[in-house]
Structure 1
Amino acid sequence: MKKINRALYAAKAEPALLDVPELPCLMTDGSGDPYGDTYATAVESLYGVAYAIRAELKPVLTYSVAPLEGLWEGSPDDWASMRWTVLIPQPRQVTPETMARAVSAVRARKPSVDVDRVRLAPLAEGRAAQILHTGPYSEEPATVARLMRFVADRGLTVTGAHHEIYLSAQGRTAPERMRTIIRYPVG
C-alpha cells in the first residue's frame, strides 16, 4: 500500500498540499482515551481483519499491511470526550465478500476480539495539507500550529477531522524518534 500510494506516506517536515484519492479502508469507531482498553481492542480488531484479508488475497496479490491511521475529533485536553476512528487502508481488490470471510476467520481464531464493529468503507479526503511530525505525541501541538499557519496563509480552511498516520510503532520506537504524518482535508 505504501508503494502504490507513495505520496500519501512521504510527508516532509515542511507542510505541503496533496490530493488524496478515495481509499477503501477498514475502520472502527470509538471514544475516550487512546491509551485505554477500548482503543487497544479496536486496534487489535483492525489488525486481525487486515491480516486475514491479506492472507485471503495472497494467491493473487502480495502486499504489506498499511500503517495504522486515526481520525480524531474533540479536545485532547478532555480525553473522555475525544471521538476517534482508527483505520487501515486496503487494496482496491477487497470486496464485501472478502471482508466477510476475513471477519469470520478472525472471529473463529480470536473470539475475544470485537471484529463485528470493523467495517469496510471509503475514506475520501480530497485536497489535504500534511506535515511530518517527529517526536512524542505530546509535542504535536507545535507541528499542528505550523500546519494551520500554512493552511491559513493559502486562504484555505480545514474541512475535516485531524488525521494521523503512524509510521512508527508506539512502544517499539523511542518517543523522540516517533514519526507521525498529520493531515487535514482543506478547501
Structure 2
Amino acid sequence: MKTWCSRGWCRLERAARELSPKSAWILIQSETSIEVVGTVLSLPSGPVGEGDFEIEEDRQKLAPVMRQILIRKLLHCLRVGDLPGFRRHLNLQTVHLRGLQVEPVSGLLPSREGGDDAEEFLHQNGSRKIGEADSAGWWPLHYAALAGNAEVLRGLLEKRANVNRRTSKDQPELGFPFGTSALDLAVFFKHHE
C-alpha cells in the first residue's frame, strides 16, 4: 500500500477518481481485502508531481493530464451549481499541480478590471463579501488558505478578514471537521509562506 501511494502514476489514478463526479471508490488491496475510499484523507498520498517515477519524463507528461482533470472537475461543479466544490478545487490547484510544470486553470470567469489581488480572488471564487460564509460554512479566507497565495491572504487581512474565524460546518470531502481555521488549512496543505 505504501509503495502504491508513493508512485506518480498511482497518484494520478487516485486524483482522477477523487476529482470525478462520483469521488468514492473501492481500493482492492488483495484477494481478500478491499476498502471503500471516500475522502482525500482516507489514504496517505500526495500530489502527482511529487510522486515517484521510474522514467522522470513521465512526470511532465502527466502535467497536462492533471490540468485537464481539474478543468473537468471545475466545470462539473459550475454545471451542477456546487459553488463550495468549485471554490475548493479552484484553490486546491496549487496542491494538485505541485511538482508539475503547468499553469493553473484560470479564465473560467472573466477577470475584473482595476481590482487588487484580493478583489480578483473574491470575484474568481464567486464571493461577494469577505465576512460572509458560503453554504459549506467556509469564509473566503479559508479558501485563500487552500491556495496558499500569500498576496491574496495579505489583501484579505488588510480588508479586515477575521484571521480567527473558523469554519462553521465540517468538510467531509476533504476530511476536515467544523472549527477548522485558515491556519490549520495552510499548514495541512504545506503552504509555509
- TM-score normalised by length of structure 2: 0.25
| Higher RCO (CA < 8 A, seq sep 6+) | 1
Q: What TM-score do the two structures reach when normalised by structure 1?
A: 0.25
